[in-house]
Amino acid sequence: MDSIAAALERLWLGQFALGPVVIAGWLVLGFVRFRPSTKAWAAMVLLATLALPAFLPTLEQPGQALATVRAQFARTEIAATTQASPSGTWPWSPFETIWLLGSLTLFLRAATRLAAARRYLNQLPQAPDEIRTAMEKLAHANGIHRLSVLTTTEACSPALYRIPQPTLVFPADLWRRLPEESRSSVVRHELAHLVRGDPWARAVAACITYALWWNPLAWFLRHRLQRHGEMAADAWALRRGGEPPELLAQGLLFTQGWIARPSDQGASIAAISSRAGRKMAQRLRQLFRPPIAGGGLLGVLLCVALAYAGGSVGWMVAQTRGPANSAAEPLSVRGFLARALITLEGESRPEDLATYVDRLRNGRTPELRRMGADDLGNLFENGRPAIPALLEALERDASISVRREAADALGRIGAQSMPEVRHQLQQRFKREPAPRVRRQIEDVLDPDRDSFR
């Protein structure tokens, strides 16, 4: 439970830290002309950086070893108490619960569609010898030695599947009506997806998007990956086939028109919907542009730079969450920024402690006083000299949020291990009128919960 909550928190904070990096990287791609394959790889790199903080290890900061051991022991005791008692609380916050339920729903839907696709492929017949021979000849010429060719009577676009082996589904009626000079270009476009590894890239992109379903940047990058992947497949088909772009353009337009009106003897371009027409127009414009010479190295350098920038920010996000307090704090962008500064500056200084205590006692607003308590809790065992100030805030502050943060800070400091402080917390629990503060004190004193009720 704790590892999942920590991964979710790093992902949450990482979206705010990595968002500007992703936007800046994509703006660079928009102002500079790159190959479609470069843009597709860049979209994949940027999408992967959004999920990076969840997989990076968290290194223990100096002075946190004792606090880490204490926190791990406390979590073990809490887990044992919760299992023994029927009144255990739900381990995740409402936001984390909604997040996990949304991701689980999307993954279940994807699994259902995958199973339906496998059943659909099992029902399709093998392609006739004429179609299979022509396609296998093209596949062998492009380095593909295993390809299953199926036909369908439905009015759909040719599609490439890889569940489990490469399978090309081609409508038999489309093959019969498609101009002969354009057949090889259309088939070569589908084979390009297999050579480029697009099915695997799209599967990884879908997993990342489902995990970050609430982030519009993830959906945007996935859409761009698919869009530029299609354009990159067009460019690959032209480059390997050595045919003029007019033949591929003719085949693409004929296919779209046939899908719109499959009963017509000839495909009509006017039957293409406006949305599909806009997408096709973008592909055709890219198709007839002169190829970019010498852009491969620049594209590789760009992808490396984006990966380095995203990895650096993701590493900082992972290091700003110490293992000692990962289960105690709510998700907070402000907390991420504060801990990022602590990570960059190193261990706390005595003047920091005095500043935080002064902010807790004399802050003009509840938010300032709450920040002071939070900063003291981030000092772990180095913040123990501030225990009297935290107890005073817990006893006298009029703000519920400040009292709750003070109780949380006492737990992170490890003050509950001191008998005198523990007794004061037990007495305060009995007098505390706010349920939120009572629950926080209860979490700090969880192993002896039944002894002070």
SS3 state at 264: coil
Q: By CB neighbour count within 10 A (0-12 exposed, 13-18 middle, 19+ buried), where does 245 fall? A: middle
Of the candidates 97, 143, 93, 153, the one whose C-alpha atom is nearest the C-alpha of residue 123 is 153
Can you tell me the distance from the alpha carbon of 285 to that of 279, in angstroms, rounded to the nearest whole number?
A: 10
Q: Do residues 139 and 119 make contact, with C-beta atoms less than 8 angstroms apart?
A: no
Of the candidates 215, 225, 223, the one whose C-alpha atom is nearest the C-alpha of residue 275 is 223
Cα–Cα distances in angstroms (integers) from residue 91 to residues 163, 197, 233, 415, in the given order? 37, 40, 47, 23
Say what the pLDDT of residue 206 is: 94
Can you tell me the distance from the alpha carbon of 428 to that of 267, in angstroms, rounded to the nearest whole number?
A: 80
Say what the pLDDT of residue 222 is: 93
- Low pLDDT (below 50) residues in the chain: 59-89, 265-271, 321-334, 336, 338, 341-348, 450-453
The structure's pTM equals 0.63
Can you tell me the distance from the alpha carbon of 379 to that of 388, in angstroms, rounded to the nearest whole number?
A: 15
Can you tell me the distance from the alpha carbon of 157 to that of 258, in angstroms, rounded to the nearest whole number?
A: 9
Phi, psi of 128 (to 5 degrees): -60, 160
Say what the pLDDT of residue 113 is: 92
SS3 state at 428: helix
Q: For the domain 348-451, what is the CATH superfamily, name and number? A: Leucine-rich Repeat Variant (1.25.10.10)
Domain ranges of the chain: 120-217+237-288, 348-451
Can you tell me the distance from the alpha carbon of 399 to that of 395, in angstroms, rounded to the nearest whole number?
A: 11
